[in-house]
Every structure is written in C-alpha cells, then in structure tokens.
Amino acid sequence: MLDFLGLETFLAIGESGSITAAAQRLNCVQSAVTARLRKLEDGLGTPLADRHARGVTLTEAGERLMCYARRIAHLAEEAETAVSATAPQGARLRLGAMETTAAVRMPPILARLMAETPRVRLSLATGASDHLTREVLAGRLDAALVGGRVEHPDLSVRTVLTEELVEIRAVAIAAETTRVLLGFRRGCSYRARAEAWLRQDGRAPFEVMEFGSLDAILGCAAAGLGIAILPRVVAEERVPNLAIHCLPPELAMLDTCLIARHDLPQPEVLNRLCADLAPPPPDRAMRR
C-alpha cells in the first residue's frame, strides 16, 4: 500500500540521486530514508532503486513510479495552495525570473504587489531560462519569467514583453578585436543569442567567460575583458559608461514569457504581475 510519506521520500531519492542527499533534503537521518524506501518496495513487491557507490539508480519500476510520485506531489501542492489562500497568512507564490529581469524590472513591481496584496507569501528565485523551466515542470516553482517561448505540452505560456538585446563593451574596445563573450551559464536565452551573433558577425571562434551574476558580467565588461549581450534597459540603466551597439532585428528582439503548469491553478496575482510588466500603450498624442 502506498503512503504519502513513502512517496515523498522516494521522490527525494529519485530527484537527488542518493540516500544522503535525500536525507538532507527531508531533514532526517539516512536510516529513516532507507527504511521508508524498503517499506515502499516491500509494499509494491518490487525493487525501486539500485544502490551503488555513487548513489542510487532507479529501476524500471522506479522510473514508472517516479512519474506518479511527481503528479501526486503536484496535487498535494495544489491542495495546499487552494486551502492556504483562505487562511489568515494567505497564499504562497514561488516565482522564478532571469537574473536581468529580477534585477532591473522586478523590484518596484514586487514592492507594489506586496503592498497591495500583503496576504501573498512571495519568494523569487533567479536562474537561466532552461533551469527555470525545469523547476516549473518539477513543481518547485509556480511560475517563471523566461526568455523566448517554451514549447512543452504541460506548460501554459504568456508573452509579457519584448526585450531589445544589445551588445555592450568598453568604449575603447573595438568590435573586431573582441572575441570573448561574458555571459551566464548554458541554458540562458541571452547567451544563445550572443553566440549566434558572434558567429554571424565573423567573430568565431570565441571564448566564453561564464558568470553567475549580472553585476559580475557588467563589471568585467567595463574593465574591457569582453563583450556582453543584454537587454537595452540593463545597458542604459546600469552601465552608462559602456558603449552600446545594436544587433540585427532578427537577433535583437526576444520575448519574455511567463510559464506555468497548465494543470495547476494560477493565482490572480500573476495577472497583476503580467499587467505591471507589460509596456504601456503608445501615447495617442504622439501617434497623431
């Protein structure tokens, strides 16, 4: 017979790849994790994981159960969200965003949302678009702002705004001598556009210096260590002393999209977030 604690433990083992990591994630001792796994295997009458020196590997039965364990965990989170929305402390929203979006566009919007909806418990995680997509699919994030449209049958996708990407570099650095790209780790949509631009511009082969923060990229660009491809809003607001160069339209324009699992309810606050992020409509007087 399946029990929720056993499934939660099995899910932690499968996602972390080891008994030790699962115990740390669940904040319990390794012997308890092992005992729960054995109880689950005994109840199902089949091994779910092979133990070895590097950790554990799921068996065929374990891989099948993993799909159901994730779905059950998502349903449990859905139930928690639905009930907590009526509780005094309010609902929870776990949001993900790209580093640039979080640094430049999100602070005033989040401050306004938290002031207007104090019952919402909001958390924000940053990362590359590919990583954020995996986190949403796994149920560890409720929604995320990513670069470019994501095609996946389990996701709903809303285009929120369109960023113009530009090349930035120190004023004294010539483009033809710049063959070092300063960017985030692989999985970043901006990095993919940057690599495509350098190849198209005849600057391949090139080297890539990877960073985990926006400030590090900007600082190294200002020091003349290489070029970076970032949204124009970042270049204009954060690095006024750097030269800004336009990209071809087919590479410059990149949508920022809000993704969420379509089988889970989306809180109303997400609609507010999208509305605040969307650019204002053109002024009618200017159009005339």
Domain coordinates in residue numbering, the chain: 4-84, 94-158+257-278, 163-253
Q: So what's the pLDDT on residue 285?
A: 38
H helices of 45-97, where? 60-84
For residue range 207-262, what is the model confidence (pLDDT) as tens digits?
Answer: 999 998 899 999 899 888 999 999 998 888 766 678 899 999 999 999 999 999 88
Q: Is the pLDDT of residue 130 over 90?
A: yes
Token pair 């509305």 is found at: 275
For residue range 13-37, what is the model confidence (pLDDT) as tens digits?
Answer: 988 999 999 899 888 899 999 999 9
Instruction: With cut-offs at 50, 70 and 90, classify the pLDDT of residue 1.
Output: low
Tally Cβ neighbours within 10 Å of residue 252: 19
Which of the 8 DSSP states describes residue 227? Answer: B
Minimal CA–CA distance to 161: which of 148, 174, 177?
A: 148
Instruction: With cut-offs at 50, 70 and 90, classify the pLDDT of residue 5.
Output: confident
Least confident of 116-125, 145-154, 199-208, 233-242: 233-242
CATH number assigned to the domain covering 94-158+257-278: 3.40.190.10
- Residue-wise burial string across 5-44, b where 16 or more C-beta atoms lie within 10 A, e elsewhere: ebbbbbbbbbbbebbebbbebbeeeeeebbebbeebbeee
Q: Is the pLDDT of residue 286 over 60?
A: no
Tell me yes or no: is domain 4-84 CATH 1.10.10.10.
Answer: yes
Q: So what's the pLDDT on residue 2?
A: 75
Query: What is the pTM for the complete model shown?
Result: 0.69
Same fold, 4-84 and 94-158+257-278: no
Q: By three-state DSSP, how is residue 247 classified?
A: coil
Tell me yes or no: is domain 163-253 CATH 3.40.190.10.
Answer: yes
Q: So what's the pLDDT on residue 248?
A: 94
% of residues, the chain, pLDDT over 70: 90
